[in-house]
A and B are shown apart, each in its own frame.
Chain A
Amino acid sequence: MGIEVMEDIRKDYVYDLIESGKRVDGRGFRDYREISVERDIIIKAEGSALVRLGDTSVLVGVKLDIGEPFSDTPNKGVLMTNTELRPGASPDFETGPPNENSVELARVVDRGIRGSEAIDLEKLCIEEGEKVWMTFIDIHALDNDGNLMDAAALGAIASLLNTRIPNERYGLTGEDTLSIRDTPVAVTMVKIGENILVDPNLHEENAATSRLTVISNADGTVSGMQKSGREGLKEEEIVEMVEIGIEKAGEIREKYLGDK
C-alpha cells in the first residue's frame, strides 16, 4: 500500500512537470535516453546484443537449432521469440509462467521482424519438409527502468545482424551468416496529459494513459504497431506518432545499426 501511495504522488509530479514542458530526467519530449548497443558479448550464443536505454538494460541472445518445419511452410525456417521478465530486473516482476506483458513484448518484437521479412526464412531451409534452422530470439530483461520494448527490439535486430549459422556443430556446410534484408526499429511513445513523449522511463510509463509502439523499416514502411494502456488515442495523434516513430527509427538505425 505504501508503495502505491508513493507511486500516485510520483505520477502527479511527473504529470505536472510534463505539463510545464519538462521531463523528470531533463530530456526533450522527442529525445531518447542515452543508447548503447554492445554486440557479440555472449560467445556461446550465435548472436547477441546488450542494449542499454538509460538505466534500462536488455540482453538478447539468438540461438540456432535444427528442427522440423511447420507443415504449412515446409520450405521455411522457423522464428521464435521469447521474453523473460526476470524477477531480478524489477521488484514488480515475479517468477512463474510469462504474464501478459512479457508475452506482449515478445510477440510485438516478433511481429516487427516477421512483418519486415528481415530474415530470409527460405534460406534457413536445409531439406524441404524435413530439416530447417530454427531461430530462437530470447529477450532477457536485466534492469527495467522503462521502455523494455524498444531496447528488446533493438537488441533483437542487432543480434540478428551478427548471427552466425552453426553449420559445423551439425556437420553441415553452407552460408555462415544469417541473411538479414531489413532493419526494423521500434519506437515507443506515451501520452501524458495532451503530450506525446518518446522513450518513456519507468515513472513516465506509470504516469502515461496510453502507449503506442511503431516499428518501421529502412524504406520508411511500417511493419508493426501496438497500442496499449488504459485510455485511447485520437486518430490525429496516432498519425502524428507514426510520423515521429518513422523519423526516430531512422536516427537509431543510422547510429546503431549502421555498419550493416
Chain B
Amino acid sequence: MKEEGIELIKDGKRLDGRGFEELRPMKIEVGVLKRADGSCYFEMGNNKALAAVYGPREMHPRHLQNAKTAVVNYRYNMAPFSVDERKRPGPDRRSVEISKVSREAIEPVILKEHYPKTAIDIYVELLQSDAGTRTAGINAASVALADAGIPMRDLVSSVAVGKIEGEVVLDLNAAEDNHGDADMPLAMVTRTGTITMLQMDGRLTKDEFERGLKLATNACREIYELQRTALIEKYSESIGGGEE
C-alpha cells in the first residue's frame, strides 16, 4: 500500500489542511427518506452515506426467522459512480465483508429480543466515497435505527485512524488511505466504551496501535455528540413545534 513520491504532510498539516487529530467536517440529516421506517444522510468529508432502515418487519424467508430475537440484516453498497474508477454494481467480496463487520458493529445495541421472528433491515448506500466509507455508513445506520424508533441501548459511532508518513492521524481521506502505511477503522458504543468493530491493515507498532486506539475512541465520542444533537433537533422540531 506504500507509494513513494507523494507528500501527505506539509508544515505539520495534512493535504486538506487538517491537523493530525482532526476529523473531517460532518453533516447529519435525520429522516430524509419517506418510505423507510428510519433514515439518515451522513457526510464525512467527501463521503456521502445514506442509510435506510426497515422493520422490525416479517422475516422472509420464514425458515430464517429466529424464535427468540429479531434478525438484523445489513447491506453496505457502493454506488457505481461513487469512486474514480466505476465500481461494478452489486456485492463483491469487499462489500460482503464490510456488511458483516458493520452488522456486528451495530447489532450489540439493538434490543433484538423485543421483536422475535422479525427482520430489521439496514441498507447503507455510499453515494460518494472518499475513504472511511464503512465508518460513515455505520454512523448513518445508527442514527437511522434511532429514527426508525427501534429500541437501542445507545448509538454506535465510528471512525478510522491511520498512519501517514510515520504519524498516527485521525479519519484518513482517500489520498491518505491510498498512500499511507496503515488504516484502522473502529466503532464504539460510547455509553459503555465498548468497541464493536476493529479492523486493521498496514503496519503499526504496538505503541502506535495504542495511540491510534485512544485517538479513535475520543473521536467516536465527538461523533456521538453530533449524532445525538441531530436526533434531538429533528425530534424537538416534530414534537414541540418550535417552542424555543
Q: Given A225-B198, A225-B199, A100–B99 Cβ distance below 8 Å?
A: yes
Alpha-carbon distance A100/B1, docked complex (angstroms): 24
List the B residue with the shortest CB-CB distance to A105.
Answer: B97
A229 contacts B203, CB within 8 Å? no
Q: A10-36 vs B: 1/0 string, CB under 8 Å? A: 000000000000000000000000000
A152 at the interface (CB under 8 A from B): no
How far is the CB of B224 from the nearest CB of chain A, in Å? 14
Contact with B along A101-120 (1 / 0, CB 8 A): 10110110001001111000
Residues 91-116 (chain B) with a chain A CB within 8 angstroms: 93-94, 96-97, 99-101, 104, 107-108
Are B195 and A224 in touch, CB under 8 angstroms? no
Shortest Cβ distance from A237 into B: residue: B195
- Check A217 against B194 for contact (C-beta < 8 Å): no
With contact pairs A103-B96, A235-B213, A239-B210 given, residues A220 and B108 touching in the complex (Cβ less than 8 Å): no
Q: For residue B4, give the distance in angstroms from its CB to the closest CB of chain A.
A: 11
Q: In this complex, which of A104, A222, A223 has the most chain B Cβ atoms within 10 angstroms of its Cβ?
A: A222
| Minimum CB–CB distance for B158 against chain A, Å | 12
Complex: A227 Cα to B158 Cα, angstroms: 14
Are A233 and B201 in contact, CB atoms less than 8 angstroms apart? Answer: no
Near B by CB (< 8 A), chain A positions 201-260 give 212, 217, 220-235, 238-239, 242-243, 246
A100-B96, A107-B93, A234-B195 known; A229 vs B200 contact (CB < 8 Å): no
Alpha-carbon distance between A92 and B205 when the two chains are bound, in angstroms: 37
Q: Are A227's CB and B209's CB within 8 A? A: no
**Is B198 a contact of A235 with CB atoms below 8 Å?**
no
Chain A interface bracket (under 10, 10 to 19, 20 to 34, 35 or more): 35 or more
Also in contact, A114 and B1, with CB within 8 A (given A100-B97, A103-B96, A233-B194)? yes
Main secondary structure of the interface of A (DSSP, over half): mixed
Q: Does the CB pair B93–A232 fall under 8 Å?
A: no
Task: Report B-chain residues with C-beta under 8 Å of the C-beta of A226.
Answer: 101, 198-200
Would A232 and B189 count as touching, CB distance under 8 A? yes
Contact A246–B107 (Cβ < 8 Å): no
In the bound assembly, the distance between CA atoms of A224 and B93 in angstroms comes to: 18
Residues of A within 8 A of B204 (CB): 221-223
Are A246 and B206 interface neighbours, CB within 8 A? Answer: yes
Q: Which residue of A lies closest to B209 (CB)?
A: A222
CB of B53 closer than 8 Å to a CB of A: no
Closest to B72 in A: A230
* B202 close to A232 (CB less than 8 A): no
Contact A221 B100 (CB under 8 A): no
Nearest A residue to B84 by beta-carbon distance? A72
Tell me if B201 and A111 are in contact (CB < 8 A): yes
Separation in Å of the A188 CB from the closest CB of chain B? 13
Kindly list 8 other residue pairs between chains A and B, CB separation below 8 angstroms, not including A107-B93, A116-B203, A234-B195: A103-B96, A106-B93, A117-B203, A222-B206, A232-B189, A235-B193, A239-B210, A243-B206
- Which A residues are within 8 Å of any B CB, using their own CB? 98, 100-101, 103-104, 106-107, 111, 114-117, 212, 217, 220-235, 238-239, 242-243, 246
What are 18 A-B contacts with C-beta separation under 8 Å?
A98-B96, A115-B202, A117-B203, A212-B198, A220-B205, A220-B206, A222-B206, A225-B198, A226-B101, A227-B101, A230-B104, A230-B107, A231-B194, A231-B196, A232-B108, A232-B194, A232-B196, A239-B210
